[in-house]
Amino acid sequence: DSGVTQTPKHLITATGQRVTLRCSPRSGDLSVYWYQQSLDQGLQFLIQYYNGEERAKGNILERFSAQQFPDLHSELNLSSLELGDSALYFCASSVGGGLSDTQYFGPGTRLTVL
């Protein structure tokens, strides 16, 4: 158990809908990262927040957005969902904001778009 929690574990929805994925980092960690893992693209970095502020951006679509709240939990919002958005979404956390800080991954949310 990494100490990072993600909810829900599974999510099934329809095209065009909007969903919110939630992540609670390990106690004491200030950074949260979001990743998408799909069969064809592998593990792709989406976005990083550090202490409430956006720190780095990866291959995140404009239909997707994220935020980190004062209590350091984070939410990833996915809107206008398409079939291709079906994937595993992982959250990771680290103590600091540097990329050489060890990232601890949560168990993931499996999103299925029908």
Partner 1 sequence: GESVGLHLPTLSVQEGDNSIINCAYSNSASDYFIWYKQESGKGPQFIIDIRSNMDKRQGQRVTVLLNKTVKHLSLQIAATQPGDSAVYFCAERRDDKIIFGKGTRLHILP
- Residue 98 CA to residue 109 CA, distance in Å, equals 25
Rounded least distance, CB 16 to partner 1, Å: 26
50 scored as a contact of partner 1 (CB under 8 A):
no
Does 107 contact partner 1 by CB under 8 A? yes
Q: Could you tell me which stretch among 22-30, 32-40, 63-71, 75-83 binds partner 1 (CB under 8 A)?
A: 32-40
Report how far apart the first and last C-alpha atoms of the chain are (Å, whole number). 31
Residue (4 or 19) nearer to partner 1, CB:
4
33 burial level (CB within 10 Å; 0-12, 13-18, 19+): buried
Phi-psi region of 38 (alpha: psi -120 to 50; beta: other; left: phi over 0): beta
Which residues contribute to the site for partner 1 (CB under 8 A)?
Answer: 2, 4, 37, 39-40, 42-45, 56, 58, 88, 90, 92, 99-100, 102-108, 110
